[in-house]
Structure 1
Amino acid sequence: MSIPVDLADLARTLEQYGPGYLLSTAGESVKAVSADPVLSDGVVVVAGPGGGSLRNVTANATVTLLFPPREERGYTLLVDGTATVDGDDVRVTPGHAVLHRPVDHAGPDHAPGSTSSCGHDCHPVT
């Protein structure tokens, strides 16, 4: 189950999540590192992710930021984007974002107080 997140709402959505992970790929290697991204003027800045991540971004600018759910069976926030290296930091221009969880995690007990008409697995971004 994936629910698109309007990039105009990304800052508000990010406030609901804690630290995330920067995933970048280059050639045959994949690197995932803990990060505390900050959204600034529409760009997600990841401070000092490390040399391996910087090399990966230099070789392949496509990255994904993953923010795990804050509650059991909650939604993971995935932000895909294009990255550049800026000194020791990585700057990600978001291209697409979704809230995602397996469909089998849905259920009426996971949407307390929901007034949405889109079903018990709908999670509006507010």
Structure 2
Amino acid sequence: MSIRVAPEQLAATIRDLPIAYLLTSGAGPRPHVGRVQIALSQDRIAVSGAGATSRVHVAADAAVTLLWPPLAPEGYSLIVDGTAGLHDELVVVQPERAVLHRPAAAPAAPEPETGCAADCMELPVDG
């Protein structure tokens, strides 16, 4: 299921989720994951608390993902893909795609529009 949400709703969704993780890619086969703090700044997401490995990865590859786990087992995770840059002590992410995701109650065929077989909601990101 896809539901369009205005950018200001993305900001409200982020404010309601207390725990966020930054996923970055390095030279190895696995992503690096670190818990971070989030602040909203206009249409960008300011990430503080990124460790040295995350910062090295962002400098080498700007493609990142932010993940907010659900507040309850049946809740949605928020996943935001974007392009990041380093600004002083912050990693600043320009969101490119955002989706609220949770597993489907029963196996389902993927939706033709999104290819998602779970209970997903696309959150459009203006940028």
1:103 aligns with 104
CA contact (8 A) 1:81 1:93 kept: yes
1:112 aligns with none
1:67 aligns with 68
Q: Secondary structure of 1:104's match?
A: coil
Q: What is the RMSD of the two structures over their aligned residues, measured on CA atoms?
A: 2.6
Distance 2:34 2:4 in 1: 24
Q: Secondary structure of 1:22's match?
A: strand
Q: What letter is aligned with 1:21? A: Y
- TM-score normalised by L of structure 2: 0.75
CA contact (8 A) 1:74 1:101 kept: yes
For 1:79-118, what aligned pairs fall within 5 Å after superposition?
79-104=80-105
2:111 aligns with none
Distance 2:86 2:8 in 1: 24
* Fraction of identical pairs, as percent: 40
Please list every run of at least 4 consecutive aligned residues from structure 1 whose deviation after the TM superposition is greater than 3 angstroms: 1-8
1:14 aligns with 14
Q: What letter is aligned with 2:73? A: E
1 or 2, which has the higher helix percentage? 1
Gaps of 5+ in 1: 106-120
Q: Secondary structure of 2:70's match?
A: coil
Q: Secondary structure of 2:92's match?
A: strand
CA contact (8 A) 1:68 1:76 kept: yes
Give the greater-gyration-radius structure (CA). 1
Q: Secondary structure of 1:11's match?
A: helix
Distance 2:56 2:96 in 1: 21
Q: Secondary structure of 1:39's match?
A: strand
- TM-score normalised by L of structure 1: 0.76
- The count of residues paired between Structure 1 and Structure 2 equals 111
**1:122–1:88 CA distance, 2 compared to 1 (3 A):** closer
Gaps of 5+ in 2: 107-118
Distance 1:99 1:44 in 2: 17
